Amino acid sequence: MTIPLFCTLNAIGAGTGKDAPPDWEFSSRSLDAYANLMLGAGFFPTIFVSPESARAHAPMLEELSERGCELGLLVSPSQSSIFPSKKPMGVLSIAEQRIAITQARDVFTQFLSHIPKSIRTGFYSGTAQTLELCQTLGFTHTSITLPGAQLRQLGTVWPSDVPIRRSPIIDIPVTSNPDEKLFNRFPLYLSPEFGTATSIAALVARGIGNGHVCVTGSTASEYGSPHGVIDANSDALITALLDAESLRAYRVCDYTPAP
């Protein structure tokens, strides 16, 4: 049986808070290193791009697109300079969410020669109504759900072990283990940024058991820095993914679930 694999990255606007890159030089190094890590392993990542990152990194992003990466849209009002509201998506009204997505997409398309088909929200914040709105606005895929996250103040409230949704829009949840918590009370999710080689291998196995594996990362983390935790975990992750012969890598926009 073939299991779909998705490698994703959140390209967050620099200088927008403690969960963002400190500056654009840091962001550029992280983006380049993550993309090269996945492309070097034969995986074509989906990069969810904030409007600020579309403006700052346009030449690099266009080059990565030419190399096979997908450029999706990242909408995170609480981490952005272009939105009047500084609240996470999931606590905004649907009318406010519509404005946020439309504004972000307008800036994205202004600087990049792409119309994004995939979308993710900051902090995996949203509701079932958010998914419906994304479909209404012409997106075909999302990756918003973080199974086991129960952070109502962030609008991030998802049940555990959620499979890929097929309706109203294809939504690909991030692989996580709700029984293990990060320091910020998010469930441990599959990323080189957290855990150990042992927990990464366990998360890959958990994802395979649940029917798909979705890796994620963020430009707020220092990819490409040698001899650190991310460097070691990146090696462990790539090894675990390559050793799992059932996995087949997809860009988020290219995946269509079987009926």
Identify the band that residue 183 occupies on the pLDDT scale cut at 50, 70 and 90.
confident
pLDDT (0 to 100) of residue 17: 84
Q: How far apart are the first and last CA of the chain?
A: 15
Averaged pLDDT, 165-186: 95
Residue 108 domain flag: yes
C-alpha–C-alpha distance, residues 78 and 81, integer Å: 9
Q: Give the number of domains in the chain.
A: 1
Residue 226 domain flag: yes
Q: Which domain, by its residues, includes 37?
A: 3-254
Q: State the Cα angle at 156 between 155 and 161, rounded to 5°.
A: 155
C-alpha–C-alpha distance, residues 255 and 166, integer Å: 11
Residue 81 domain flag: yes
Residue 105 domain flag: yes
C-alpha–C-alpha distance, residues 168 and 257, integer Å: 13
Residues 126-145: tens digit of each pLDDT:
999 999 999 999 999 999 99
Residue 259 domain flag: no
Residue 40 domain flag: yes
* Helix (H) / strand (E) containing 107: helix 94-111
pLDDT (0 to 100) of residue 13: 95
pLDDT (0 to 100) of residue 18: 87
Six-digit token string for 236: 């462990």
Is beta strand 46-49 parallel, antiparallel or unpaired with respect to 70-75?
parallel
Read off the CATH number of the domain in which 227 is found.
Answer: 3.20.20.370
Contact 157, 129 (CB under 8 A): no
Identify the band that residue 1 occupies on the pLDDT scale cut at 50, 70 and 90.
confident
Residues 215-238: tens digit of each pLDDT:
999 999 999 988 889 999 999 999
